[in-house]
Structure 1
Amino acid sequence: MANHGLIVGLDIGTNTVKALAADVRNQQANINAVGRSVSHGVKKGVVVDIDATATDIRQAMAQINEQAGQPITEVVAALPAENIQISRLSGQITVQDSQHISYQDVEAVVHEIIKGQVAADREVIDLVPLDFVVDDFDGIQDPNDMVGMRLAMNAIAYTAPKHILGNLKMAIAKAGLNLRDCVLTPLATSKTVLSEAEQEFGSILLDMGAGQTTAAVVQGNQIKFISSFPAGGDNITRDISNVLSIGGYEAEMLKLDSGVALTRLADEQEKLVIQRVGQTEPEEITQKYLAEVIEARVDQILGKLGEKLNMVNAQQLPGGVTLIGGTAALSGMPDAVEASLGVKTKSFAPNDIGLHHPGFANAWAVIQSAAQQLPIQLVVKQALYGLTIQSLGQAAVDSSTASLTGARTAPVAQPQAPVQKRPQLVRPVDDRSDVEVELSHEDDVVDKRDSDKKSSRIGEFFREFFE
């Protein structure tokens, strides 16, 4: 398949709207434009103010247009895991021409699958084929040009509430853009951030954002478990602001400039000057004291997610933890995660010039996944969204003639699975599906086992603001 064209990925986060443009050639995406703006209309990854979000998108896209040297009208948007449901779906059709299966038949089986199997208040974001079955032969990855009378498809469906996706679409439309595709961020990042071995043998992908923190467990090249906790970098900033009695902006700058996620890594001799609200004279604190404030919240987030990950035995997976998201850039965060979860931890950032920061991982992954889609994946997207997907930088799929408007590539050789036995994920509930989603909406609470924090000024803060 001759991949070509311009792809623009949009990551609308709680703190920042990030836009990346890439020129795609032969499934390789070369970033050539970067845009970003402060986000004002998003809470915990979900659009809550359409007009404000549209304004923020326009600001980020103006930078893209200037750098790319052409106006952009279509984008691929990232969608966080919040309120996502994952389920296995199957469907079967009778082939229109029993001597020849075409991509038109694939579209028909996609429509058959989602018809009646998706709740009326939800919308399919993505449908990932597990395999196709032609008559009684299963395990087929692409049935195009095969001969058969019946075509079935087994797939994993990712759905979101219609109002969440509707608000995202409305904000993008008000920004003067067309939404050509919506990509679930854990799905995109797992395929692009993790290595093939990490995807196969099992890893934890930890996305540490401003408003929420999401853990995705990947094994056997599939997402097996997702758990989100509604706290992130913004909560750390508010904690600093409340404990030190300083403004939100000052707290954010203090966190970014001098913050450490693990107290034992902080310098007790390093003095930081702050200006408390209502005080006329500046005051000094140590970096270690600041780290105590930060570590308290980091402990809470990782502790809550660690409980969920323990339920599925995820810490036993050999791939360890890979960190992405803006909060992952906080000094000492890999050490803090490793200390809390007890597994080896690393941080990922794109290598492209100007993007070497974990906060760009989601937007980067959206572009990479769009660029690397195979013909069969494009056909499924075409059926879901009712469009010809040329704007994603891909060769358009002509389902009526079952051909691609571009050179077809030879099948991609799949790596053979190593003989080594993989650790097994443990199901926390009865095993009715291969995927489990745990989304926490509980209010912030202090871990009452942490008696040390209770006896300090930080403990007073926790009692006042958490309980």
Structure 2
Amino acid sequence: MMENNTIAGIDIGCSGVRCVIAIQHENSELEIAGVGIAPCTGHIRQGVLVNAAIAGEAIQKAVEEAEEMCGLEVDSAFVNITGLHVRGILSSSAMQIGDGKSEYPEEITDEHIKKVEENAGNITLPSGCEVLERTVRDYSFGGFSQLPDPPVGLKSVSVEARVYTIYADKIAAENLRTVVQNAGIAVEAVIPSAVASASAVLNRDEKQVGTVVVDIGSANTDLVVYRGGAPVHLSSFSMGGDRITTDIQSLGISRNDAEKLKIEKVAAINQFAEKSTLSVRKVGGRGSVSVALPLLTQLAAQRIEEIFNFAAEEIAASGVGQSNLTGGIVITGGAARMNGIIEAASVITGHQVEPGIPRAVKSVSKVANEPEMATAIGLVKHGLELRRVGLGKKEPVGYRDFAKKVSKFFNKLK
């Protein structure tokens, strides 16, 4: 059984599953005690789970590896969701304070705020969708707008609230829960990948002044814009680091070698290209092929330009101007390790760009400091916030301990 100060996050990505087990100490410090990684492919398409068997096996492997590292057992976790179906919508509502007959303004109470927030969030979602999260963006009253805190105790004739609702396809979310639960883990909450990553790499000040997180995964890129301490725009698009790997692989190189070249040798911007040629094994190991690094960089730079041109369009669609994005762009995810990607993103978008690695956590594993761990670590950080406000659910699955005992028994017989 998990202790009350223990929390787990399971990041189900296109290239594999990552599990993080964390402990919150009495001084509120968060320590990553266990990390498990199980590579797998073919279980997700366009961010949607399409193969339960592959995903379920990887979840079990990642969780068991994390448990072995820290000596703790997991029975529940926060899980991420991504894909084109994960979207956000801004809505608002205003209400009159008092009966409207008095010529004097009346005091705004907690009840007024609660009611106007509920009304603002009471929207009709697209058919077949469910709410993942709702956050209050800001309040307005008496000619003042975009106030981050509720104006309780002040007088006005009316008050308004704006709420940002993040939603997802109901079937996609339910399939995700089912696969995790069938692996013996209760799902406390399903959290958008971009929100989780932002929780790992941004601090409160960055969320307040305006910052964009771009999480480049293997097949998808997730983007979220923060302003005033809350998300104001969220998007996901089917472009990721795998496109670069596939382009390199098309030269007759194995996928593993193509991935290694992408991270270790290929630059994201032409000015950073090494002027040399490498001899790389062909697919199947039969002979080798000469590869010019400037050519590989040219291929990669084209893909990076596609990703950040799309990101720039999404940032513009958020309605938050560049002058209100003081924090610029923070890049995380596996592709964030590419040489020159920070400079390339800055040139393409016109924003200040910084690398994003998980922050404000201790860890027994160096792996936790890598950008591709941002979503998994963000799940436990954001999950703690959800628990504090009573939104984390723990519904025991019940059979995992029994299944583990049976597995150990048969392993002893081998």
TM-score normalised to structure 2 length? 0.75
Q: Is the CA contact (8 Å cut-off) linking 2:21 and 2:32 kept in structure 1?
A: yes
Q: Is the CA contact (8 Å cut-off) linking 1:29 and 1:367 kept in structure 2?
A: no
Unaligned 5+ residue runs, structure 2? 96-109, 141-146, 153-159, 398-414
Q: Is the alpha carbon distance of 1:301 and 1:358 closer, same or farther for their aligned partners in structure 2, counting shifts above 3 Å?
A: same
Deviation for aligned residue 1:32:
0.3
Q: Is the alpha carbon distance of 1:158 and 1:278 closer, same or farther for their aligned partners in structure 2, counting shifts above 3 Å?
A: closer
- Structure-to-structure mapping, 1:175-194, within 5 angstroms: 175-194=183-202
Aligned residue in 1 for 2:102: none
* Structure 1 counterpart of 2:8, one-letter code: V
Aligned residue in 1 for 2:403: none
Aligned residue in 1 for 2:219: 211
CA distance in 1, matches of 2:321, 2:51: 36
- Structure-to-structure mapping, 1:328-343, within 5 angstroms: 328-343=336-351
1:264 aligns with 2:239: no
CA distance in 2, matches of 1:339, 1:131: 32
CA distance in 2, matches of 1:195, 1:38: 30
Q: Is the alpha carbon distance of 1:248 and 1:390 closer, same or farther for their aligned partners in structure 2, counting shifts above 3 Å?
A: closer
Aligned residue in 1 for 2:33: 32
Deviation for aligned residue 1:202:
1.3
| 1:223-269 deviation per Cα after TM superposition (whole angstroms, max 9, x unaligned) | 22233331111111111111x12222221222223221112112103
Aligned residue in 1 for 2:74: 72
Aligned residue in 2 for 1:124: 131
CA distance in 2, matches of 1:254, 1:284: 13
Q: 2:375 aligns with which of 353, 362, 375?
A: 362
Identical amino acids, percent of aligned pairs = 22
Aligned residue in 2 for 1:20: 20
* Structure 1 counterpart of 2:237, one-letter code: F
Deviation for aligned residue 1:89:
6.7
CA distance in 1, matches of 2:378, 2:263: 24
CA distance in 1, matches of 2:349, 2:126: 36
| 1:93-132 deviation per Cα after TM superposition (whole angstroms, max 9, x unaligned) | xxxxxxxx99xxx8x9999987884455111112224589
Aligned residue in 1 for 2:58: 56
* Structure 2 counterpart of 1:292, one-letter code: Q
Q: Is the alpha carbon distance of 1:267 and 1:141 closer, same or farther for their aligned partners in structure 2, counting shifts above 3 Å?
A: same
Q: 1:346 aligns with which of 354, 376, 386?
A: 354
Q: Is the CA contact (8 Å cut-off) linking 1:29 and 1:371 kept in structure 2?
A: no
Q: Is the CA contact (8 Å cut-off) linking 1:15 and 1:38 kept in structure 2?
A: yes
1:11 aligns with 2:18: no
Q: Is the CA contact (8 Å cut-off) linking 2:186 and 2:396 kept in structure 1?
A: no
| Partner-residue secondary structure (3-state), 2:5 | strand
Q: Which moved more, 1:308-317 or 1:174-183?
A: 308-317
Q: Is the alpha carbon distance of 1:173 and 1:219 closer, same or farther for their aligned partners in structure 2, counting shifts above 3 Å?
A: same
CA distance in 1, matches of 2:173, 2:94: 25
Q: Is the CA contact (8 Å cut-off) linking 2:200 and 2:358 kept in structure 1?
A: no
Superposed CA RMSD? 3.6
TM-score normalised to structure 1 length? 0.67
Aligned residue in 2 for 1:196: 204
| 1:431-467 deviation per Cα after TM superposition (whole angstroms, max 9, x unaligned) | xxxxxxxxxxxxxxxxxxxxxxxxxxxxxxxxxxxxx
Q: Is the CA contact (8 Å cut-off) linking 1:28 and 1:372 kept in structure 2?
A: no
Q: 2:297 aligns with which of 267, 291, 294?
A: 291
Aligned residue in 2 for 1:170: 178
